[in-house]
């Protein structure tokens, strides 16, 4: 059988470049493909944010670095309202669907899940490859939409009808159709991914890997996959209907033709709220792996965390109308939805307390991944707490559609996608690329990002409470907003700094990949199975499939020689002095 394994390895060395790196069915290669795709898309969407911020701070002046955009999209760098709407829309769409999901689920889910459960690959490797090339095509649709006549989608990332349902309102024709098609492809891609994640976890765990010995990252990934797959169906139905409204003249969402625009909002948010957890859970899943390793303590409340996640998952299907308090829906729905919304913060509070208890009394080591993990949690607390404000109808009636909401969701999504994503990247980079990342650059990157992020988004709460509407083109058109323009400019300065703060990361990423210090198999002394195999990880992951003897978080157990107990090794009998 060992022979069989070696012949397998030789076989792959003979594989052509294309099979090995491009149309690869290896979950590790696919994970990296997702990683590069999402980082690239993050650059694209980040640039859009810069254009948007400039317009808000110094309205209708030429944006430095936008001069290359041809007319009529921009005029020597000046961004017209139509393009502004497109930028806001596409920034949101790309960040949620083409950065958040591919980074957290696509890259880390694909790379880690088979390793963590002790499998040789995903259950359906070819489906996995298809899922990447589907989202790749979807990304092309999104980018292409900027170049078609009429420009790209401009109806907000939520695509509210009737604005999105009839081209006469935005002047966007094929751009929005491509937006719908791109999203549908993206959904298909993650549907394939989700089927793989779940099937692999259920049917392909290594011997001894019971469900309650799975690393929490795996639990978070599969819960996210389930939430996604259960919520996306109705939105796909809605997307088909929207496309029909736009192309063949039906009127599902057009009141003039007997349709109902609120219907779209219901379909979108029935998906939309679970979707925010789809992005959140893998992010905090990475945190759950990192905290125990760098505080050398078992995670506090393993089962409690799993239960809380499930409760939150179920509740996430019952809160969607909190996005619609002032939409004109039946007011009798407001009360029940505000109750479920307040309830859903309870399981998250439980998880946050579990994190704090994990840190409590640990021997904490502030390596970059740990800094990012703690940063994720602290930042997310502000996001969660402001969510409760949004969830109370009397408050929300005032702050709805203001920058308060914008700030709320950046305080939730930024920690999960970027802080959690960076935590994961700094932590698993040694396994993925065989090299350590530079600590100094990592720490500079962390503090720079953390500080600038807060400088951008804390003032936004103030703007929101001052009544600053979101999605407006030019705040200077409103007298009551003029006194706050200084805040807008401050935010833009900070946002530019935040973007520049990613340079140390980019440098670190490529420099470490090629010239970094060689990482051993297990540089952090961690327990989970991905650290049990060699670095670089061989084709089919393990020479022999490991057997699992205990849970993933046995750090600093009493009566043991080491302060860590890899899952694939039996606990040592106590050393006799």
Partner 1 sequence: MSDIAAVPQPLQKNGKGMFAGQRQELVINSSLFGLLIFIGTEIMFFAGLISVFMIIRAGTDTWPPAGQPLLPVGITTINTIFLLVSGFTMYLARKAIGHNNTKALTRWLGLTALLGAIFLAVQGSEWVRLISFGLTISSSTYGGTFYTLIGCHGLHVLGAMIALLRVLYKSVRGTTYSSSNRTGVEMCSAYWFFVVAIWPILFVLVYLN
Tell me the residue nearest to Cu ion as measured from the CB: 273
Q: Which stretch binds ligand HEM (CB under 6 A): 64-72, 109-117, 289-297, 386-394?
A: 386-394
Q: Which is nearer to partner 1, 209 or 406 (CB)?
A: 209
Give the C-alpha separation, 486 to 398, whole Å.
22
**Tally of CA atoms within 13 A in the half-sphere of 51 that contains its CB:** 27
346 and 267 Cβ atoms separated by less than 8 Å: no
240 near partner 1 (CB under 8 A): yes
Type and span of the H or E element at 125: helix 125-144
- Using the structure block, give the residue that is written with the tokens 């795709």: 37
Give the C-alpha separation, 224 to 227, whole Å.
5
Phi, psi of 166, rounded to the nearest 5 degrees: -140, 125
Q: Which residues contact 136 (CB under 8 A, 6 or more apart)?
A: 33, 37
329 near partner 1 (CB under 8 A): no
Token pair listed for 313: 């998952």
Beta partners for 435?
518
Residue 391's binding partner, choosing from partner 1, Cu ion, ligand HEM, none, with beta-carbon cut-off 5 to 8 A by kind? ligand HEM
1 near partner 1 (CB under 8 A): yes
Residue 471's binding partner, choosing from partner 1, Cu ion, ligand HEM, none, with beta-carbon cut-off 5 to 8 A by kind? none
Phi, psi of 15, rounded to the nearest 5 degrees: -65, 150
Burial class from Cβ neighbours inside 10 Å (0-12, 13-18, 19+) for residue 573 reads exposed
Helix axes 368-391, 420-433, angle to 10 degrees: 150
431 and 112 Cβ atoms separated by less than 8 Å: no
Give the C-alpha separation, 176 to 170, whole Å.
10
119 near partner 1 (CB under 8 A): yes
Site for partner 1 in 16-55 (CB under 8 A): 25
Size of the site for partner 1 (CB under 8 A): 63
We find the least distance from the C-beta atom of residue 94 to ligand HEM, in angstroms, to be 14
Site for ligand HEM in 396-415 (CB under 6 A): 396, 400, 405, 408-409, 412-413
106 near ligand HEM (CB under 6 A): no
Q: Which residues contact 486 (CB under 8 A, 6 or more apart)?
A: none
158 near ligand HEM (CB under 6 A): yes
Q: Which stretch binds Cu ion (CB under 5 A): 100-108, 241-249, 270-278, 455-463?
A: 270-278
286 near partner 1 (CB under 8 A): no
Site for partner 1 in 125-144 (CB under 8 A): 125-127
Residue 158's binding partner, choosing from Cu ion, partner 1, ligand HEM, none, with beta-carbon cut-off 5 to 8 A by kind? ligand HEM
- 552: closest CA among 306, 311, 224, 277? 306
Residue 210's binding partner, choosing from Cu ion, partner 1, ligand HEM, none, with beta-carbon cut-off 5 to 8 A by kind? partner 1
218 and 117 Cβ atoms separated by less than 8 Å: yes
177 near partner 1 (CB under 8 A): no
Residue 409's binding partner, choosing from ligand HEM, partner 1, Cu ion, none, with beta-carbon cut-off 5 to 8 A by kind? ligand HEM
273 near Cu ion (CB under 5 A): yes
- 106: closest CA among 552, 373, 421? 421
Q: Which residues bind partner 1 (CB under 8 A)?
A: 1, 4-5, 8, 25, 118-121, 123-127, 191, 194-196, 198-199, 202-208, 210-212, 229-238, 240-241, 244, 248-252, 257-260, 263, 266-267, 270, 540, 544-549
Per CB under 6 A, residues contacting ligand HEM are 158, 276, 279-280, 322-323, 341, 344-345, 348, 384, 387-388, 390-391, 396, 400, 405, 408-409, 412-413, 416
Q: Which residues bind Cu ion (CB under 5 A)?
A: 273
């Amino acid at each position: 059988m060992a022979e069989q394994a070696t012949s397998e390895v030789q076989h792959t060395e003979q594989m052509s470049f294309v099979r090995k790196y491009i149309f690869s069915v290896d979950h590790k290669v696919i994970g990296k493909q997702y990683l590069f795709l999402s980082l690239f898309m993050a650059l694209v969407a980040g640039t859009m944010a810069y254009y948007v911020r400039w317009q808000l701070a110094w309205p209708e002046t030429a944006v430095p670095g936008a001069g290359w955009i041809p007319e009529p999209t921009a005029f020597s760098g000046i961004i017209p309202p139509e393009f502004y709407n497109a930028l806001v829309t596409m920034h949101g769409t790309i960040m949620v669907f083409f950065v958040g999901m591919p980074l957290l689920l696509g890259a880390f889910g694909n790379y880690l899940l088979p390793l963590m459960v002790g499998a040789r690959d995903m259950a359906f490797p070819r489906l996995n490859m298809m899922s990447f090339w589907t989202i790749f095509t979807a990304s092309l649709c999104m980018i292409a939409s900027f170049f078609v006549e009429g420009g790209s989608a401009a109806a907000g990332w939520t695509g509210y009808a009737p604005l999105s349902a009839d081209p006469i309102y935005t002047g966007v024709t094929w751009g929005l159709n491509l937006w719908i098609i791109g999203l549908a492809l993206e959904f298909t891609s993650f549907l394939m991914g989700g089927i793989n994640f779940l099937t692999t976890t259920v049917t392909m765990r290594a011997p001894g890997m019971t469900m309650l010995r799975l690393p929490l990252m795996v639990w978070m990934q599969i819960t996210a996959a389930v939430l996604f797959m259960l919520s996306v169906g109705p939105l796909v139905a809605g997307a088909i209907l929207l496309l029909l409204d736009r192309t063949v003249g039906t009127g599902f969402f057009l009141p003039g033709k007997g349709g109902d625009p609120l219907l779209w909002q219901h379909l979108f948010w029935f998906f939309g709220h679970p979707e925010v957890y789809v992005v959140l859970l893998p992010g905090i899943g990475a945190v759950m792996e990192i905290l125990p390793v760098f505080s050398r303590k078992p995670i506090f409340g393993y089962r409690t965390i799993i239960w809380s996640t499930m409760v939150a998952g179920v509740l996430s299907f019952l809160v969607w109308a909190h996005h619609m308090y002032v939409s004109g829906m039946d007011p009798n729905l407001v009360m029940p939805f505000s109750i479920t919304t307040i309830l859903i913060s309870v399981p998250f509070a439980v998880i946050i307390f579990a994190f704090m208890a994990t840190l409590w009394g640990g021997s904490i080591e502030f390596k970059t991944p740990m800094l990012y993990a703690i940063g994720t949690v602290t930042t997310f607390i502000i996001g969660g707490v402001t969510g409760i404000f949004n969830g109370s109808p009397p408050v929300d009636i005032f702050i709805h559609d203001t920058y308060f909401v914008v700030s709320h969701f950046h305080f939730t999504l930024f920690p999960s996608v970027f802080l959690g994503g960076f935590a994961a990247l700094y932590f698993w980079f040694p396994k993925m690329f065989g090299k350590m990342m530079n600590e100094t650059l990592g720490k500079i990157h962390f503090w720079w990002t953390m500080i600038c992020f807060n400088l951008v988004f804390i003032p936004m709460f103030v703007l929101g409470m001052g009544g600053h509407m979101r999605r407006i083109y030019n705040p200077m058109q409103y007298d009551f907003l003029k006194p706050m323009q200084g805040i807008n400019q401050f935010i833009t300065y900070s946002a530019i700094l935040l973007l520049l703060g990613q340079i140390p990361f980019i440098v670190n990423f490529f420099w470490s990949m090629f010239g970094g210090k060689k990482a051993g198999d297990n540089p952090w002394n961690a327990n989970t199975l991905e650290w049990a195999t060699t670095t670089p990880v061989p084709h089919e992951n393990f020479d022999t499939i490991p057997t699992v003897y205990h849970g993933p978080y046995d750090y600093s157990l009493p009566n043991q020689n080491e302060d860590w107990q890899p899952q694939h090794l039996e606990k040592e009998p106590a050393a006799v002095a």
